[in-house]
Amino acid sequence: MLASENLGSEVHPNDHVNMGQSSNDVIPTCVHVSAAHSVQNELLPALRHLSAVLEKKAEETATIVKTGRTHLMDAMPVTMGQELLGWKSQIDHAVDRLGDTMKRLSGLALGGTAVGTGINTPANFGGKVATLLAEHTGVPFVQAGSLFEGLSSQDAAVETSGQLRVLAVSLTKISNDLRWMNSGPLAGIGEIALPALQPGSSIMPGKVNPVIPEAVAMVCAQVVGNDATISMAGQSGNFQLNVMLPVVAFNLLQSIEILTNASVCLADKAIADFTVNQANIDSAIDRNPILVTALNPVIGYEKGAAVAKKAYAEGRPVKDVAREMTDLTDEELDRLLDPAALTEGGIKH
């Protein structure tokens, strides 16, 4: 007779409540359920919100032509909208990567019991629970294809953490770009002014720091550290069980939570309402000697380099120096060196 058929007046925690289950399959299942639910219902919506804010801001700044930078040095012009759309693409790719990872994260180890064989549990138990969980949560949970893998490894959690690390790298890049663009206001780049969220420095009145991008960068550093911990834990499984499930769960769920909050803060308190310092942008692009690159197809590289060096040495616009050193007319120079046209690519003749 099964223990469940002899309940009597006492409900036993092992014979009844925990019948057909083991901590060896329940805890890996809990890790997947909690992480998948948080990714689908918290992180992915936050990232889509950030993407939408970036798209809106890119539309607002689509006609603002600024100096591009490579190696932190002046380069050919881009529009601020193009720059922001590059950030948006990073976030959209993060959404796609996490969506693909969810295929593995939604597989549940429940039903494997002690070692993956399903001893002491009905054959359809794990699948039925996964179906019910999917109905209640909206997350497409299924029973894992291999219960032996579900118990003995945490590869899906490691994969998810890896995708979170990529997202953290992207957010760090975006945050640092914002800090550079905001730097100044007089001795830095000073292309934008982030919203002032503090009254000023504790010792220097009027000094407003880029606290949101800085906070996001710290979140991202924590996520990278969490990923290292999860990777170590993931490779520490032995035979039919990984004994580091608690540290996997703690770090994975923390990474999801803090990236969710950081993404919303970056969108709403930094990107949505930053203002553009048009005068600074125009001044820099007018004096950018790299604009001479657009003349290369017409005057050649060597002549272009000479024009650029003279313009830089004398602190003069490329157009003025090119007028003196070439046979190009004012109309030709205006057309060839139009910063807005240069953001469209191609060869100008």
State whether 255 and 299 are in the same domain: no
CA torsion through residues 162, 167, 168, 172, sign? positive
Give percent above pLDDT 90 in the chain: 85
**Is 66 inside any structural domain?**
yes
Q: Is 192 helix (H, G, I), strand (E, B) or coil?
A: strand
CATH number, domain of 259, equals 1.20.200.10
Shared-domain flag, residues 257 and 305 = no
Q: Please determine, for residue 89, whether its predicted confidence score (pLDDT) is greater than 70.
A: yes
- Beta strand 73-79 pairing with 192-193: unpaired
pLDDT beyond 70 at 2: no
- What is the pTM assigned to this prediction? 0.93
Give me the pLDDT at residue 274, please: 98
- Is residue 269 located within the same domain as residue 306? no
Burial class (CB within 10 angstroms; exposed 0-12, middle 13-18, buried 19+) of 123: exposed
- Classify residue 349: in a domain, yes or no: no
327 within some domain? yes
Average pLDDT in the chain: 94
- Show which residues are catalytic: 71, 201
Q: The domain containing residue 295 runs over which residues? A: 287-342
Q: Using an 8 Å Cβ cutoff, are 344 and 335 in contact? A: no
Q: Quick one: pLDDT band at residue 1, thresholds 50, 70, 90?
A: very low
Residues, the chain: 349
Averaged pLDDT for residues 320-332 = 94
